[in-house]
Structure 1
Amino acid sequence: MIGQEDWTPLVITPAASGVDASARGLIEYLHGPEDLAGLLTREKALVFRGFEVTPAELDEVMDLLLPNRLAYVHGNSPRTKVGNNVYTSTEFPPEFTISMHNEMSYAHQWPARLLFFCEQAAETGGATPVVDGVRWLESLDPEVREAFAGGVRYSQNLHGGRGLGKSWQDTFETEDRAEVEDFLAKTEAEWEWRPDGSLRVHQLRPSTLRHPVTGAEVWFNQADQWHPTAMGDEVAAALAKIMPVEELPQSVAFADGTPIPPEYVLQVRDRGLDSAVDVDWNTGDLLLIDNILVGHGRRPFTGARRVLVAMCG
């Protein structure tokens, strides 16, 4: 049996599948006898390479890989909607690494699958690292795992149109406060509207999760990305001079409100990245991941890079 340390995504090619090197070939493969859901659960991540899918052909392929595509409601990453629940994967500056995370693990509901499509590969770099969530959890010191056992408390300050971070309108894809309140009421979140028109949200979430099919326990939270330490020493120090932690666009603590030590956050971030496998992009590639079993991130890059993402429940 392949150990967690030897895991890599399964690469599916036209030659290995016995179909044409085209989007039609990929569609033929996906209509074939292979149980895609079972394959994804078993392999955790699938790379479709060499099918030369174009943006014009993407919707039909996505319909087979992602039944019932979801909108990116309550998402915290800067993105642009470019199609029917299709988004840019991130607009974070290219010189920075995006650390490992499971999409929307901070939310009450998260997507079961993510699909990435490389519309244009970067000139250099730009790989999407993926990490086996079991290996990530096992890589952490027992002291850190125990500290996080009670879960985490996420806090958001979403401005009303002008300010630092995302607005509540962009986050929830609506201008209707009642619609936002209805959404939050179903998520067991605490929230309050502030006098300046901003929205403050608090959520208690677990730090690990068990996969509904395999039962595997995986690291499943974004504490390292929400903690001020993740911004880097200089940025964190600058922000600390102008606003307290509770006023930041997003922050995190242990479930009881106790601050999370910076060294714990750095261990989670660094060991996730160290345990990851890079998926290097060719234009036209697709990457499908089980969002519970596998975390993902982004390596720095140069040149134009355009990777799109969509998700389903």
Structure 2
Amino acid sequence: MNASPLIKGKSLPLLINQPSGLNLEGTIEWLEDHRPLLDDLTHTAGVVLLRKLPIKTPGDFEVICKAIRPQLRKYTGGDSPRNSLTEFVYTSTEYASGLEVPLHNELSYAGWSPDRVFFGCLRPAAMGGETQVADGRAIYRRLDPTIRKNFEDKGITYLQYLRDQSVSGTGKSWQETFETNSRKEVESYLETSKMDFEWTALGLKTRAFHQAILKHSVTGERCWHNQADQWHRLIPSVKDSVGEEFTKSQSTPYFVTFGNHVVFGDESEINPNDLLKISAVSRSCEVLFPWQKGDVMIIDNVLAMHGRKPFTGLRQNVVAMA
């Protein structure tokens, strides 16, 4: 298998040159035969890119992903707006095209976080729309040691407030977030995930503790792995632009009912200025490239972060997780 950096001087993504001219069945067979090597390369680079794959539909993309990781999972517990296209394939985040989705690790705030995130390009945007990526190991190394130690020692707790579907408002309801109307199923998920929760007259409140820095299970490397800079109520986020939080004041009824927030694991507040510094370091590590039709990107969700740049024109990218 021929592999080389897509961009000279950048360690990710790693471009894989698979045989040309293969149909969908041939591509699936080739991917299955090279599954262990693809895993090894992803563990090294954090992000791997396959080009010119014969994917025309979300269904094609799903079978490609299953050839690499047979056990795909649903987007249960995720708060980003998406549409389900097949059993395991979704649209990429449906925020307005003029907004940027900052770097993050998928579902780092939820009861589970995928090992792999797959993106496929069925139609690139006319301009922009890159999925920027960044090495979580590099972010960890570049952070101010004092800031990093606070997060490493204390961990973080995500506070989430989800409305019931009967309550009008922006943002996803708990039914949409957990892809079920059953409170028992939601409670089972939350209890299994060791998340605290409380049902209210208007919806659901959850509290989830997570380590802010993870040690990779295969490589042993320490990686920055959280979304604290996007969940803090005093830091502007993409959610603000679509009205998911009407205000930054903790005392307002809307925030108390539906807003998100993040604190340290010991319940102490995180300094917003530290979060701005973290965002700046993350951005300094980002790498981006234009999508091409037929691209499939494989992301190790511990080693690497991803986001989305603003775009113009129709953009059809799909996502799956394992």
**Same fold by TM (over 0.5)?**
yes
Letter of the 2:200 partner, please give it: R
Q: Does 2:149 align with 1:175?
A: no
The alpha carbon displacement at 1:34 in A equals 6.0
Letter of the 1:143 partner, please give it: T
**Matched ranges for 1:22-41 at <5 A:** 22-33=23-34, 35=36, 36-41=38-43
Q: How far apart, in 2, do the equivalents of 1:40 and 1:65 lie?
A: 11
Corresponding residue for 1:301? 311
* Matched-pair contact (CA < 8 Å) for 2:246–2:254: no
Q: How far apart, in 2, do the equivalents of 1:105 and 1:183 lie?
A: 16
* Matched-pair contact (CA < 8 Å) for 1:165–1:249: no
Q: 1:28 to 1:20 in 2, by over 3 A?
A: farther
Any idea what the Cα deviations from partners look like across 1:167-223, whole Å, max 9, x if unmatched? 110011110111111111111111111123x00001111110011010000001111
* Matched-pair contact (CA < 8 Å) for 1:166–1:249: no
Corresponding residue for 1:227? 232
* Matched-pair contact (CA < 8 Å) for 2:138–2:285: yes
The alpha carbon displacement at 1:24 in A equals 4.3
Q: How far apart, in 1, do the equivalents of 2:112 and 2:60 lie?
A: 29
**Matched ranges for 1:120-131 at <5 A:** 120-131=123-134
* Matched-pair contact (CA < 8 Å) for 1:115–1:286: yes
Partner residue of 1:287 out of 297, 316, 320: 297
Q: 1:256 to 1:285 in 2, by over 3 A?
A: same
Q: How far apart, in 2, do the equivalents of 1:245 and 1:147 lie?
A: 26
Q: How far apart, in 1, do the equivalents of 2:162 and 2:29 lie?
A: 44
The alpha carbon displacement at 1:248 in A equals 4.0
Q: How far apart, in 1, do the equivalents of 2:41 and 2:247 lie?
A: 47
Q: Secondary structure at the match of 2:314?
A: coil
Any idea what the Cα deviations from partners look like across 1:41-73, whole Å, max 9, x if unmatched? 123211111234211532321220231110110
Q: Does 2:262 align with 1:252?
A: yes
Q: How far apart, in 1, do the equivalents of 2:51 and 2:34 lie?
A: 20
Q: Secondary structure at the match of 1:203?
A: strand
Q: Does 2:220 align with 1:210?
A: no
Q: How far apart, in 2, do the equivalents of 1:57 and 1:74 lie?
A: 25
The alpha carbon displacement at 1:21 in A equals 5.4
Letter of the 1:187 partner, please give it: S
Corresponding residue for 1:45? 47
Corresponding residue for 1:96? 99
Question: Which shows bigger deviation, 223-232 or 296-305?
Answer: 223-232
Q: Does 2:139 align with 1:111?
A: no
* Matched-pair contact (CA < 8 Å) for 1:223–1:252: yes
Partner residue of 2:135 out of 117, 132, 136: 132
Q: How far apart, in 2, do the equivalents of 1:193 and 1:165 lie?
A: 17
Q: How far apart, in 2, do the equivalents of 1:301 and 1:148 lie?
A: 33
Q: How far apart, in 1, do the equivalents of 2:121 and 2:171 lie?
A: 26
* Matched-pair contact (CA < 8 Å) for 1:159–1:199: yes
Q: Secondary structure at the match of 2:85?
A: strand
* Matched-pair contact (CA < 8 Å) for 2:14–2:45: yes
- TM-score, structure 1 as length reference: 0.90
Q: How far apart, in 2, do the equivalents of 1:33 and 1:284 lie?
A: 19
Letter of the 2:318 partner, please give it: L
**Percent of pairs identical after alignment?**
34
Letter of the 1:10 partner, please give it: L
* Matched-pair contact (CA < 8 Å) for 1:156–1:201: yes
Q: How far apart, in 2, do the equivalents of 1:21 and 1:11 lie?
A: 17
Query: Which ranges in structure 1 are unaligned for 5 or more consecutive residues?
Result: none
Q: How far apart, in 1, do the equivalents of 2:63 and 2:189 lie?
A: 30
The alpha carbon displacement at 1:137 in A equals 1.1
Any idea what the Cα deviations from partners look like across 1:80-104, whole Å, max 9, x if unmatched? 1111211011001111111111111
Q: How far apart, in 2, do the equivalents of 1:71 and 1:34 lie?
A: 21
Corresponding residue for 1:75? 78
* Matched-pair contact (CA < 8 Å) for 2:162–2:258: no
Partner residue of 1:184 out of 186, 190, 210: 190
Question: Which shows bigger deviation, 219-228 or 158-167?
Answer: 158-167
* Matched-pair contact (CA < 8 Å) for 1:47–1:286: yes
Q: Secondary structure at the match of 2:125?
A: coil
Query: Which ranges in structure 2 are unaligned for 5 or more consecutive residues?
Result: none
